[in-house]
Amino acid sequence: MQDIVKEDDILLEVRNISLSFGGVKALEDVSFDIRKGEVRAIIGPNGAGKSSMLNVINGFYHPQEGQIWFNGQLRNRMKPHQVAKLGIARTFQNIALFKGMSTLDNLMTGRYIKMHSNLFAQMIWKGPAQREEIEHRQKVEEIIDFLKIQSIRKTPVGKLPYGMQKRVELGRALAAESKLLLLDEPMAGMNLEEKEDMCRFVLDVNEQFGTTIALIEHDMGVVMDISNRVVVLDYGKKLADGSPDEVRNNAAVIDAYLGVSHD
C-alpha cells in the first residue's frame, strides 16, 4: 500500500455511468475515480454491478450514459482490444486463460501489445522478430520468477489447479506492463494460504512496479487490509466511497451488508 497518493493525480475517472440490459438496470449514475498508484477496491453484495463496472472500464460493455476519462482524456467508445492497447489489463472472476497453451505461452501472449514486428519479419523469424522474441522472453521470465511459477513454466494451464491458474492469469495481466490493472475477485475460491500469497503479490505489484490496481473482492478482511480507498456499490448505485475505515463505519454500507433492522 502506497502512502503517498496525490489527490489530484487521477488515472481513471468514471462519470455518471448508467448501463442497462433491456429493462434491467445494471449501473445507475455511478461516478468515482482511481488515483495513480493506489489500490482501489470495489465492493458490494452479489449483483451490485461490480463486474459490470469492470466490463465498462474494459470495453466489453458500452454504457448508455456517462463518460470515462483515462489519463486526463475523454475516452471514446472503444473495443476491449483497443482498451488493452491504452494500458488497461484485467483478470476475470472465472478465469479466462488460454487453456491449451503453456504458462510461458500465456504470458508471452500477454505481451502481445508490446510486440511490434510485422507479419513478414515474423515469417522469416530473423532479425527484428527474433530479437524481439528473446527480449520479451526475458521480461516474461522475470514475471515468472516474481510470481514463483518457475516449475509450471511448460505445463498447459488447463491442467493446473485453480489457485495456480489464478496466479498465471495475474501473470498474463502483468506481462502487458499496463498502467491500470483490473482484478475481478482475484482471491475468490482460494484457501487461506493461497489468499495470503495473492494479497502479497497484489501489494508487491503495486509497490515494486507502481501499477495502479482496481480490484473487486468479497473478503472484507482482505479489502480493508490492502486497499487505499473503497467504493461500495449496491443495486447498481454508489452507496459509499472513501477510506476503508470510513466505509466500514458507514451506516448505509452496514445496512446493505447486514440488512436493515425495522424497529
Partner 1 sequence: MTPDFLHTIEVILNGLMAGVMYSLVALGFVLIFKASGIFNYAQGVMALFAALTLVGFQTGQVPFSHLINELFGTQIHHWGPGMNNLIAILLTIVVMIVFAWLVEKLVLQHMVNQEPIILFMATIGLAFFMEGLGDLMWGADIKTLDVGIPSGGSFWWEDVTRTWVSEGYDYYGMYIDLLDVYATGIAVLLVTILTLFSQFTKTGRALRAVADDHQAALTVGISLRTIWVIVWSIAGIVALVAGIMWGSKSGVQFSLSLIALKALPVLILGGFTSIPGAIIGGLIIGVGEKLFEFWIGPLVGGATENWFAYVLALFFLMFRPQGLFGERIIERV
Interface with partner 1 (CB under 8 A): 58, 60, 79-81, 84-85, 89-90, 92, 96-101, 105, 108-110, 112-113, 115, 117, 119, 122-123, 125, 129, 132-133, 172, 176
> Closer CB to partner 1, residue 215 or residue 223?
215
> Closer CB to partner 1, residue 96 or residue 252?
96
CA distance 88 to 176: 9
Beta carbons within 8 Å of 85's beta carbon, 6+ residues apart: 113
Least CB distance from residue 199 to partner 1, whole Å?
23
Least CB distance from residue 80 to partner 1, whole Å?
4
> Closer CB to partner 1, residue 121 or residue 254?
121
> Closer CB to partner 1, residue 9 or residue 135?
135
Angle 156-214-38 from CA coordinates, rounded to 5° = 120
Distance of CA 252 to the CA centre of its chain: 26
SS3 225: helix
Least CB distance from residue 70 to partner 1, whole Å?
15
Residue 236 φ/ψ, nearest 5 degrees: 80, 0
Least CB distance from residue 160 to partner 1, whole Å?
15
> Closer CB to partner 1, residue 15 or residue 139?
139
Q: DSSP assignment of 101-145, as one string?
A: SBHHHHHHHHTGGG----HHHHHHT-THHHHHHHHHHHHHHHHHH
Least CB distance from residue 215 to partner 1, whole Å?
16
Least CB distance from residue 118 to partner 1, whole Å?
9
| Cβ count near 136 (within 10 Å) | 18
SS3 155: coil
| Cβ count near 1 (within 10 Å) | 13
Q: Which of 57, 67, 52, 64 is nearest to 16 (CA)?
A: 67
Q: CA end-to-end span of the chain, whole Å?
A: 41
CA distance 207 to 167: 18
Distance of CA 127 to the CA centre of its chain: 35
Least CB distance from residue 113 to partner 1, whole Å?
4
> Closer CB to partner 1, residue 84 or residue 253?
84
> Closer CB to partner 1, residue 35 or residue 75?
75
> Closer CB to partner 1, residue 108 or residue 222?
108
Least CB distance from residue 6 to partner 1, whole Å?
29
